[in-house]
């Protein structure tokens, strides 16, 4: 499946403001970026670096006035996300070094406090993928998904008490529950085709059966349509923009994901 994604952000800047953006998706085993556009208006120097999780980040200083960030990508992804019911729990000793860190508690995923609860939710399930399926179903049944109620990030503990949340919140609680069972889990932020209302999206991945698998408690069942932008322990690591100084919100934010018929698109060279 080919998707065209775009994210356009506009800010009204009053004082020179440092930004760290995370808006450049990477090609990987599960997605191929065939076209990518990234425009900053007005044009300012941008320094790109790779963070400790492997994400591409862009640093810049936004000057006073209207400031626009415009990104787009044409991406090939699998028609359906890989699933592996029954995939086994990976014993700690067999986890790759780089995966171990995803067992630790993090800002919004206090996995050190969910051990009892996760054990109850997954009672009777085979260790591994099936435990995560049980957790995801529990989230769907228990935590009311409220896509419009955007707000400040809250932690898994708060989400659990509150009983409702945006995609990010459900992912946080899912991650905390998985880690408490020694299943490595990480946050993914990106695009999701067909999301209503359209917005940036968050879901989570777990490491079972020797690789990462995607889970999304906001959907009735996992399907295709995910384009990952960033990976991290939780939302603290994968903000698509981190801005420093006085609080500042986009005056406009347009996200779009559409399916395209890639081979037929007009090559730019032909324009």
For a copy of itself, the closer CB: 76 or 142: 76
For a copy of itself, the closer CB: 142 or 253: 253
Q: How do beta strands 164-165 and 31-41 pair? A: unpaired
Handedness of CA 250, 14, 57, 152 (dihedral sign): negative
Q: How far apart are CA 160 and CA 169, in angstroms?
A: 9
For a copy of itself, the closer CB: 89 or 219: 89
Closest approach of a copy of itself to the CB of residue 140, in Å: 26
Report the site for a copy of itself in 171-230 (rule: CB under 8 A): 182
Closest approach of a copy of itself to the CB of residue 233, in Å: 9
Applying CB under 8 A, among 10, 59, 140, 250 the residue interacting with a copy of itself is: 59
- Angle value at C-alpha 173, between 176 and 71, nearest 5 degrees: 105
Residue 151 as a binder of a copy of itself (CB under 8 A): the answer is no
Strands (E), the chain: 2-13, 17-21, 31-41, 47-50, 56-62, 65-77, 144-145, 164-165, 185-192, 201-208, 211-215, 226-232, 241-243, 252-259
Residue 50 as a binder of a copy of itself (CB under 8 A): the answer is yes
Q: How far apart are CA 9 and CA 27, in angstroms?
A: 23
Closest approach of a copy of itself to the CB of residue 241, in Å: 13
Stretch that binds a copy of itself, among 88-96, 129-137, 138-146, 186-194 (CB under 8 A): 88-96
Q: How far apart are CA 18 and CA 46, in angstroms?
A: 11
Applying CB under 8 A, among 12, 14, 15, 39 the residue interacting with a copy of itself is: 39
Applying CB under 8 A, among 21, 77, 87, 110 the residue interacting with a copy of itself is: 110
Task: Find where tokens 């076209």 sit.
Answer: 35
Q: How far apart are CA 247 and CA 154, in angstroms?
A: 17
Conformational region of residue 19, where left means phi above 0, alpha means psi within -120 to 50, and beta covers everything else: beta
In 3-state terms, what secondary structure has residue 229? strand
Residue 158 as a binder of a copy of itself (CB under 8 A): the answer is no
For a copy of itself, the closer CB: 18 or 194: 18
Stretch that binds a copy of itself, among 80-88, 99-107, 196-204, 217-225 (CB under 8 A): 99-107
Residue 120 as a binder of a copy of itself (CB under 8 A): the answer is no
Residue 269 as a binder of a copy of itself (CB under 8 A): the answer is yes
What value does the CA radius of gyration of the chain take, rounded to a whole number of Å?
Answer: 19
Q: How far apart are CA 203 and CA 235, in angstroms?
A: 10
Instruction: Return residues touching a copy of itself (CB under 8 A).
Output: 6, 18, 20, 26-29, 32-40, 43, 45-54, 57-59, 61, 72, 76, 91-93, 97-98, 100-101, 103-107, 109-110, 112, 152-153, 155, 182, 236-237, 242, 244-245, 266, 268-269, 271
């Amino acid at each position: 499946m080919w998707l065209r994604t775009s994210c356009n952000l506009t800010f009204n800047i009053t004082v020179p403001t440092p930004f760290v953006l995370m808006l450049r998706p990477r090609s990987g085993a599960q997605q191929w970026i065939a076209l990518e556009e990234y425009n900053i208006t007005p044009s300012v120097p941008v320094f790109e670096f790779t963070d400790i999780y492997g994400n591409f980040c862009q640093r810049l200083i936004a000057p006073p006035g209207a400031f626009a960030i415009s990104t787009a990508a044409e991406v090939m992804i699998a028609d359906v996300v890989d699933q592996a019911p029954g995939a086994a729990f990976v014993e700690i000793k067999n986890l790759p070094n780089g995966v171990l860190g995803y067992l630790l508690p993090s800002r919004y995923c206090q996995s050190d406090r969910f051990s009892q609860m996760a054990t109850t939710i997954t009672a009777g399930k085979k260790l591994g993928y099936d435990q995560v399926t049980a957790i995801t179903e529990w989230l769907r049944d228990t935590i009311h998904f409220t896509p419009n109620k955007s707000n400040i990030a809250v932690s898994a503990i708060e989400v659990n008490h509150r009983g409702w949340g945006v995609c990010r919140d459900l992912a946080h609680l899912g991650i905390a529950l998985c880690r408490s069972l020694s299943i490595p889990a990480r946050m993914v932020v990106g695009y999701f085709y067909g999301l209503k209302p359209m917005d940036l999206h968050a879901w989570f991945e777990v490491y079972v059966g020797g690789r990462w698998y995607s889970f999304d408690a906001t959907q009735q069942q996992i399907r295709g349509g995910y384009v990952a932008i960033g990976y991290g322990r939780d939302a603290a690591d994968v903000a698509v923009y981190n801005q420093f100084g006085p609080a500042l919100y986009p005056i406009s934010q347009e996200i779009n994901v559409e399916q395209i018929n890639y081979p037929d698109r007009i090559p730019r060279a032909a324009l």
